[in-house]
Amino acid sequence: MSPISTKIHGDILIVEANNPPVNALGHAVREGLVKAIEAADAKEAVKAVVIIGLGQTFFAGADISEFGTPKAFAQPVLPQVVDIIENCTKPVVAAVHGTALGGGLEVALACHYRVAVPSAKFGVPEVKLGILPGAGGTQRLPRVAGVAKALEMATSGNPIGAKEAHDIGLVDRLIEGDLEQHAVAFAEEVRAIRPLPKSSERDDKLAEARANPALFDDFRKANAKKFRGFDAPEAVIKSIEAAVAKPYAEGVLDERKLFMELMSGTQAKAQQYFFFAERKAAKIEGLPEDTRPRDIRKVGVIGAGTMGGGISMNFLSAGIPVTIVETTQEALDRGTGIMLKNYEATAAKGRMTAEQVGQAMALLTPTLDLNALADCDLIIEAVFENMDVKKEIFTKLDAIARAGAILASNTSYLSIDEIAATTKRPQDVLGLHFFSPANVMKLLEVVRGAKTAPDVLVTAMQLAKRIRKVAVVAGVTYGFIGNRMLMPRQLQANQLLLEGASPEQIDRVHVEFGMPMGPFQMADLAGVDIGWHRDPNRIENIRDKLAALGRWGQKKGAGYYDYDEKRRPTPSPVVAEVIDEWRKKTGTEQREITDQEIIERTLYTMVNEGALILEGGFAQRASDIDVVWVYGYGWPVYRGGPMFWADTEGLAKIVEGLKRQQPRLGPDFRLSSLLVSKAEAGEKLTR
């Protein structure tokens, strides 16, 4: 049965799309749309057309699962579909609810009119998939919404709301009440108007940009940092430039060429892979199908430090009450004060109203009494990393928490099984590892203990979605997925310093690779003193020495780099001296280190660690590891994640590099047999 059906209301043809879950514009939908428009053209009795989506949304875009398959190019392709719609001899009205995204917005732009419910959203998220709106979107959107708005929407991929869309002329009428009924009434109003308004023929909104072509370079400069490394934003800009500089018929050809170039590139493949990786991460293999989540109405957080405060904010922002516990009034006041300040800073940026800040803070109950957690459905411990302290807390919680409450630890490294064993309810215990700053970072590692109950896991995954996190399930292994993979990278980076590389060189290689910062920049940001034993007489490595010298990173104006008052780094002669001293002390011979060696020793070893994690069953799938690294550590999404990147590099090349470097990788290095066997079989990690 075709996902497109039609019905007649008076002399208006209603074209309904029914392709759950998001009415993606797969081949059958495209075919159905063309047939419906052709029928409208052919039937004398039809005076206008309304296109509407059944279910939760208008068309949310092209069908991404068709990309890379022959279906994506099966006729009619979307550029043909939108032209057929625009060239319909009867007025066509797009009736939008949910999201008109990507190809969906391109369909709406090709319609002669657009009406929408106030909750509808409009966007061109293609850039997030490494491509551009390739069905006339870069040509029609600037003509309808203006060049500046089109640039912003198409390079960010972020949608705008219906009200804004209405204000800028993208939507002709906002509909309160029944969408179909009002869209039909609208179609009746406009049925006789000729000539039909065609987006591709509009010129008025291009005039400003034609008078000021420098706006494109200004836009490039203003966003250079954000676009660094990505191919798609520049192609989007070029394509919109063509819309301004050339007639429509030529502009679409430029758009097509740029689209095809992007689509055949590695970045598009990586970003499209990542789209599905993110959604797959939410699925847990092997759970009984009838597993139902537990009800979470109230959350308790132990510890009002940076982590505890940030974790609490997630729940407060989602409207879930939080009881936060500290050991002293001073710490409690400091913690809640910082939370309020963070909310106020968000409000100052216009992302929250003062009223919303008040509402969030009103849901917070600060207390010094652990017993106040007795009525919480979920309790998250967020105190410092010390197993004894954590065990003591969980023993107390076991006595306080109500039956069925979920007990979680925010530990970054420690064994959830050991923690769970201190309670009489290990089935209710799991790890919820948030990343700092916890109110901002999207990643949540959900650590599944040996005895964690299925419904506890399902609850955590559902709750993550409620607080807008991307959750990945990890097994109990030191450092879980993310931090475990960070360890070989850090070990090799430190060793490379001794062998002749500088912090600047190692960081540069990582930044050029696309990471937001290198290992030493990260250490300076997080604090060189983190995890330091604080004994100035016990100097075991370069980091200890820097910490003992008070070079604790950015906060002290000195770490692996020197910092000026604006926190701009410069290479430090003191650090160079410390490294030199340490080289002599350890008798390490200095040699020239190539950038390639840095990649092999810091990134290939991470890939190997990822493969060991898979081998040990500590991650469900390779793509989960990629989700951790993109959302938790800023791995460039245009490289897909470490596992996808390894596949694009070729596993044989990775194994060969690791074997070549093996003599330098230290006594604890173990080559993953999974990696080796996949390399030998010519297989991939992500498949």
> Which of the following is catalytic: 86, 106, 241, 600?
106
335 within 8 A of 377, measured Cβ to Cβ: no
641 within 8 A of 627, measured Cβ to Cβ: yes
- Between 63 and 172, name the residue whose CB sits nearer to ligand TC6: 63
Q: Which is nearest to 243 in space by CA: 132, 164, 131, 129?
A: 132
Minimal distance, residue 343 CB to ligand TC6, in Å: 25
- Between 250 and 392, name the residue whose CB sits nearer to ligand TC6: 250
Strand order in the sheet with 113-116: 4-9, 12-17, 48-53, 92-96, 113-116, 173-174
Phi and psi, residue 590, nearest 5°: -90, 135
Q: Which is nearest to 35 in space by CA: 91, 64, 75, 72?
A: 75
Q: Cis peptide before 642, with omega less than 30 degrees from 0?
A: no
Q: Cis peptide before 20, with omega less than 30 degrees from 0?
A: no
Minimal distance, residue 124 CB to ligand TC6, in Å: 8
> Which of the following is catalytic: 16, 126, 255, 600?
126
Minimal distance, residue 288 CB to ligand TC6, in Å: 19
CA dist 271 and 266 (Å) reads 9
Minimal distance, residue 315 CB to ligand TC6, in Å: 20
- Between 513 and 644, name the residue whose CB sits nearer to ligand TC6: 644
> Does the active-site annotation cover 66?
no
* Angle of helix 605-615 versus helix 651-661 axis, rounded to 10: 110
Cβ neighbours for 573, distance < 8 A, ≥ 6 positions apart: none
E strand segments, 448-510: 470-474
Q: Which two tokens stand for residue 81?
A: 């579909």
- Between 72 and 421, name the residue whose CB sits nearer to ligand TC6: 72
Minimal distance, residue 102 CB to ligand TC6, in Å: 3
Tallying the residues shown for the chain, one arrives at 687
- Between 186 and 644, name the residue whose CB sits nearer to ligand TC6: 644
- Between 22 and 301, name the residue whose CB sits nearer to ligand TC6: 22
Cβ neighbours for 641, distance < 8 A, ≥ 6 positions apart: 274, 277, 623, 625, 626, 627, 628, 629, 630, 635
Q: Which two tokens stand for residue 424?
A: 């009489």
Strands 99-101 and 121-123: parallel
429 within 8 A of 417, measured Cβ to Cβ: no
Q: Which residue has the tokens 């004398």?
A: 44
- Between 102 and 309, name the residue whose CB sits nearer to ligand TC6: 102
463 within 8 A of 378, measured Cβ to Cβ: yes
- Between 123 and 488, name the residue whose CB sits nearer to ligand TC6: 123
Total Cβ atoms within 10 A of residue 195: 7
CA distance readout (Å), 443 to 287, 384, 465, 470, 632: 22, 20, 11, 5, 5
**Where on the chain is the footprint of ligand TC6 (CB under 6 A)?**
21-22, 24, 60-65, 78, 99, 101-103, 125-126, 129, 133-135, 279
Minimal distance, residue 3 CB to ligand TC6, in Å: 13
Minimal distance, residue 69 CB to ligand TC6, in Å: 12
CA dist 667 and 662 (Å) reads 9
> Does the active-site annotation cover 126?
yes
- Between 57 and 521, name the residue whose CB sits nearer to ligand TC6: 57
128 within 8 A of 99, measured Cβ to Cβ: no
Q: Which two tokens stand for residue 223?
A: 């966003």
3-state secondary structure of 318: coil
3-state secondary structure of 600: helix
Minimal distance, residue 448 CB to ligand TC6, in Å: 20
388 DSSP 8-state letter:
H
- Between 121 and 191, name the residue whose CB sits nearer to ligand TC6: 121
The H-assigned helical ranges of 87-177 are: 103-110, 137-145, 147-156, 162-167
Minimal distance, residue 633 CB to ligand TC6, in Å: 23
CA dist 15 and 52 (Å) reads 6
Minimal distance, residue 104 CB to ligand TC6, in Å: 7
CA dist 88 and 91 (Å) reads 7
Minimal distance, residue 263 CB to ligand TC6, in Å: 8
Cβ neighbours for 521, distance < 8 A, ≥ 6 positions apart: 507, 511, 560, 561, 569
Instruction: Please give the radius of gyration of the chain, using alpha carbons only, rounded to the nearest integer.
Output: 28
- Between 112 and 121, name the residue whose CB sits nearer to ligand TC6: 121
Minimal distance, residue 228 CB to ligand TC6, in Å: 22
- Between 103 and 335, name the residue whose CB sits nearer to ligand TC6: 103
Q: Which is nearest to 67 in space by CA: 240, 210, 274?
A: 274
Q: Which is nearest to 425 in space by CA: 398, 401, 402?
A: 398
Q: Which is nearest to 311 in space by CA: 173, 463, 428?
A: 463
Residues annotated as part of the active site? 106, 126
